Amino acid sequence: MTDRSATLGRVWWLVAGAVVVGQLLLPKGVGRDAAYLALGLGAVGMTWWGLRAPDARPRAAWWLLLVGLLSWVIGDAGWALAGHIAGGEAFPPVTDAFYLAGYALFTAALFAIARSRRSRIDMDAVVDGLIVAVVVALVMYVSFVSPVWESAGAVSIDSYATLAYLAFDVLIVFQVGYLARVERHRRLGLSLVGLAFLSVFVGDLLQTLAVRFPDIGSAQQLIHSWWLLAYLLLGAAPAYRSMSGLRPVPGDEAVRPISARQIALLGGALVVVPSVPGVQILVGVPVDSAASICAAVAVIALVCLRLGIAAARMREQAAQLARAAQTDGLTGLATSRHFATLLDRRAEAASRQPILVLIVALDRLTEITDTLGYRVGDELLSAAAARVQAEVGELGTAARLAGDAFAVVVDAGEDRHVDAVEWAARLRQSLTTAFTLSDVSVSVDALVGVAVGPDDGADGAELLQRADVALSAARNRPEGVARYTGRMPSDGVLAPHLMSELSRALEREEIVVYYQPQVDVATGEVRGVEALVRWAHPVHGLLPPAAFIPAAERTGLIRPLTFYMLDRVLRQAVEWREAGTPLRVAANLSVRDLLDPTFAKRVERLLAQHGMDRNVLELELTETMALVDPERSMEVLQALAHLGVVLSIDDFGTGYSSLAHLQRLPVHRLKIDRSFVTGMIDDDACAAIVRSTIELARNLGMTVVAEGVEDDSTFMSLRDMGCDVAQGFGLGRPVPADQIEALVGVIEDRVPRILRAGVAQGQRMI
């Protein structure tokens, strides 16, 4: 309640409560009648005050309550006048009319409130209420109405009035019960309204009993107190905020199963109806067969209807459970279990119609979720699922296998091998286009593994396993797509085991760094090295990065691994500088590093800790990494560039970034991917790509590093194209730090002689 409402509510409770109690003490006469009317008018005033609130909802119910209370007060005034002016007999029919009109208005008000709380009628509650109403009506008719009519000897207006009162009582009890059933969130103001009408019901029952039992009729003040209590409660309800702002209940359309209490209610109704004639026989009164039969037929029909509704609800729930078991709740695709069943069926028919089985993995989803939150991660999964489903269409079935993996089965064409690769490439291309989510644009890479049935497997489980093997192979391919072949090893088996040991390996310094020289193409001097991580595993030997780096990125262990590596390479750079061999050191970044707003500060602290010039450190990122979250990536890259760290684009030419995006990145170098450099001597297209990349970098004010230099002919061609730096096995393989000085000496003795000669002198320089 607001402060004003609270004050008014306390005053009402105090004053109106005093009137209810005082009415019991006042003698019969004008004073008691005046108090009675004052309380009724007070309830009308309180309701009018509640109606004037700007947010009074529903307004129709408020108006009906107000007019109903006013009709009752007029009836009270007529009754008082009948008692004091006309001897109590002139106006009863008129007062009955006002009272009954009030009942009708209250019934309509309760209906309006119930309708405002739910957008549709709760048929369960309606049927339950009708069953109770029929039982109550039978008991009341047999106990009160029928005896009154028989004692009167003839049907009179009073008899009809009594019947109307009891009918409205039953109807109001039904309405209150229905409202209590559908109102899940208990509100004090609404509860006061319900209690008020229950008080009216009790008062009416006592008044009916007073006709048959004179002892009860002598306690008229007690009977009137129940009606006064109704005025008190109805007047207090508007003071509560919960009553003035009734709104529809969220989620009120949910299907709810029949409860044990409702079953007991139905069973009790079936027991009470046949029990009424038995009770009449026991007490020695005539059995009202017609009423009992009508009530029994009505109750049996309603119980059958209720059981039918319950059965329909159960069927609906069973269908919902079946859909939930077959459909992923987030993406709407098939679940992995349902997909496995469908795949087995299609695999059985694959001899007649070959099928393609694809597993699609979204790369770096974990990094995006960790950085941008689970909400963005879920939106990304839903959007990716929609694209997968759009590609599949009516040709097959798509499913969500795990957190970032989808599975697809479609019918293959006549040339199954070509169709498989083309289908997978088209699906991957649709997923690598940037996703526009609620408040961010996100780009991800996708990997696709393909198996074809029945060539690659006789059943669904085997086809899925081989598509997964192909997916592992796709991780090492620039196109990101792989078709299963019998020569593919099942890579990645050790990854979960290795991840459990990686943290301990960092502590034991089992992670070692190898260094590959980077040679100035113009002079033949070694200007720097690229740091490449290895794991000196005590059991499995020296493991390459591919054995543990992808899994470390997915699990989040890549962050401590990155700073472990940076600390080692900066410490080594200090040692080389002190030994008279100053070298720039290049290290690779991960997506998690690029999306970490504290990364630049931590790099700055490391540089300060080792006392190194900032341009000694070069950090490499790929094109697609900067597209995961362009805005956040740009902030981190600008902070690193402002710090003075050299930034380079690794594997240039294999990603999907646009030139406009490349121009915005604060990078200093482009590293041409080895797939172009290695084939440039024999492939004119590769040579053209390398040449145009060098020209592009020069126009953008960047230097160029060519990876994959395998022989001196490639090196000389790069010199002729104006490349700045080269690295590759033909110049020097990655070696431990303690061998780098000797390797530098060999390179700087060999390469300058080749450059002075101006011709290639063999297939390999080293």
Residues 416 and 540 in one domain: no
Task: Give residue for tokens 């009154």.
Answer: 148
Asked if residues 234 and 192 have their Cβ atoms less than 8 Å apart, the reply is yes
Rounded percentage of the chain residues whose pLDDT exceeds 70:
79
Tens digit of each residue's pLDDT (9 = 90 or more) over 201-247: 888 777 776 766 666 656 677 788 888 888 888 888 887 765 655 55
Rounded percentage of the chain residues whose pLDDT exceeds 90:
17
Task: Give residue for tokens 């956040």.
Answer: 632
Q: For residue 441, is it within any domain?
A: yes
- Position 567 scores a pLDDT of 93
Asked if residues 337 and 402 have their Cβ atoms less than 8 Å apart, the reply is no
- Of the residues 218, 248, 278, which one is the last residue of a structural domain? 248
Two tokens, residue 622: 């790929």
Residues 525 and 629 in one domain: yes
Range from 70-74, 149-153, 755-759 that averages highest in pLDDT: 70-74
* Stronger pLDDT, 7 or 764, i.e. the higher one: 7
Least confident piece of the model among 35-49, 156-170, 266-280, 491-505:
491-505
Asked if residues 607 and 599 have their Cβ atoms less than 8 Å apart, the reply is no
> Cβ of 752: how many Cβ atoms within 10 Å?
14
> Residue 532 forms beta bridges with which residues?
514
Tens digit of each residue's pLDDT (9 = 90 or more) over 341-369: 888 888 877 666 788 899 998 877 777 77
- Position 388 scores a pLDDT of 92
Does the N-terminal peptide bond of residue 58 adopt cis geometry, omega within 30 degrees of 0?
A: yes
pLDDT at 658 over 90: no
* Stronger pLDDT, 47 or 551, i.e. the higher one: 47
Residues 235 and 292 in one domain: no
- Position 265 scores a pLDDT of 63
pLDDT at 528 over 70: yes
pLDDT at 289 over 80: no
- Position 573 scores a pLDDT of 93
pLDDT at 27 over 60: yes
Residue of 684, 672, 567 whose CA lies nearest to 622: 672
Residues 438 and 565 in one domain: no
Rounded to whole angstroms, how far apart are CA atoms 152 and 139? 20
Rounded to whole angstroms, how far apart are CA atoms 143 and 92? 24
Number of domain units in the chain: 4
Residues 116 and 243 in one domain: yes
Rounded to whole angstroms, how far apart are CA atoms 653 and 680? 14
Rounded to whole angstroms, how far apart are CA atoms 160 and 148? 10
Asked if residues 431 and 389 have their Cβ atoms less than 8 Å apart, the reply is no
- Position 726 scores a pLDDT of 95
**Domain that residue 617 falls in:** 510-648+659-667+707-757
- Of the residues 208, 225, 248, which one is the last residue of a structural domain? 248
Tens digit of each residue's pLDDT (9 = 90 or more) over 578-611: 988 889 999 988 878 888 888 999 999 999 999 8
Least confident piece of the model among 155-159, 597-601, 703-707, 719-723:
155-159
Residue of 641, 668, 665 whose CA lies nearest to 655: 665
Q: Where are the alpha helices (DSSP H) in 85-145?
A: 92-117, 123-140
DSSP state of 120: S
- Position 593 scores a pLDDT of 84
- Of the residues 248, 283, 310, which one is the last residue of a structural domain? 248
pLDDT at 447 over 50: yes
For residues 272-279, average pLDDT: 71
Tens digit of each residue's pLDDT (9 = 90 or more) over 128-137: 777 777 777 7
Q: For residue 638, is it within any domain?
A: yes
Q: For residue 50, is it within any domain?
A: yes
For residues 437-453, average pLDDT: 84
Q: For residue 34, is it within any domain?
A: yes
Tens digit of each residue's pLDDT (9 = 90 or more) over 374-425: 788 888 899 999 999 998 888 889 998 877 889 999 887 554 444 688 888 8
At CA 250, angle to CA 438 and CA 191, rounded to 5?
A: 150
pTM here is 0.47
Average pLDDT along the chain = 79
For residues 503-521, average pLDDT: 90
Region at 556 (left for phi over 0; alpha for psi -120 to 50; beta for the rest): left
- Position 75 scores a pLDDT of 87
Residues 618 and 551 in one domain: yes
Residues 428 and 461 in one domain: yes
What SS3 class is residue 552? helix
* Stronger pLDDT, 38 or 155, i.e. the higher one: 38
Residue of 271, 306, 303, 261 whose CA lies nearest to 138: 271
Residues 565 and 426 in one domain: no
721: domain CATH number is 3.20.20.450
Q: What is the number of residues in the chain?
A: 766
pLDDT at 716 over 60: yes
Residue 490 identity (one-letter amino acid) = S
Asked if residues 681 and 714 have their Cβ atoms less than 8 Å apart, the reply is yes
Residue of 106, 104, 81, 105 whose CA lies nearest to 94: 81
Q: For residue 680, is it within any domain?
A: no
Region at 672 (left for phi over 0; alpha for psi -120 to 50; beta for the rest): beta
* Stronger pLDDT, 60 or 734, i.e. the higher one: 734
For residues 678-706, average pLDDT: 89
Rounded to whole angstroms, how far apart are CA atoms 359 and 407? 5
What SS3 class is residue 625? helix
Residues 469 and 576 in one domain: no
Q: For residue 95, is it within any domain?
A: yes
Tens digit of each residue's pLDDT (9 = 90 or more) over 56-77: 667 788 888 889 899 988 888 8
Range from 422-426, 557-561, 722-726 that averages highest in pLDDT: 722-726
Task: Give residue for tokens 């609906």.
Answer: 316
372: domain CATH number is 3.30.70.270
Residues 241 and 276 in one domain: no
Q: For residue 675, is it within any domain?
A: no
- Position 764 scores a pLDDT of 45
Residue of 524, 542, 541 whose CA lies nearest to 533: 542
Rounded to whole angstroms, how far apart are CA atoms 631 and 621? 16
- Position 252 scores a pLDDT of 45
Q: Where are the alpha helices (DSSP H) in 246-333?
A: 260-283, 289-326
Range from 277-291, 410-424, 694-708 that averages highest in pLDDT: 694-708
Rounded to whole angstroms, how far apart are CA atoms 709 and 730? 6
For residues 104-112, average pLDDT: 84
Q: Sorting pLDDT into bands at 50, 70 and 90, what band is 707?
A: very high
Residues 582 and 559 in one domain: yes
Q: For residue 750, is it within any domain?
A: yes
- Position 137 scores a pLDDT of 73
Rounded to whole angstroms, how far apart are CA atoms 625 and 650? 10
Two tokens, residue 490: 């099942």
Asked if residues 424 and 481 have their Cβ atoms less than 8 Å apart, the reply is yes
The secondary structure of 333-377 as a DSSP string is SBPHHHHHHHHHHHHHTTTTS-EEEEEEEEETHHHHHHHH-HHHH
Residue of 483, 446, 176, 140 whose CA lies nearest to 295: 140
Residues 243 and 308 in one domain: no
- Position 239 scores a pLDDT of 78
Work out whether strand 646-652 and strand 669-672 pair parallel, antiparallel, or are unpaired: parallel
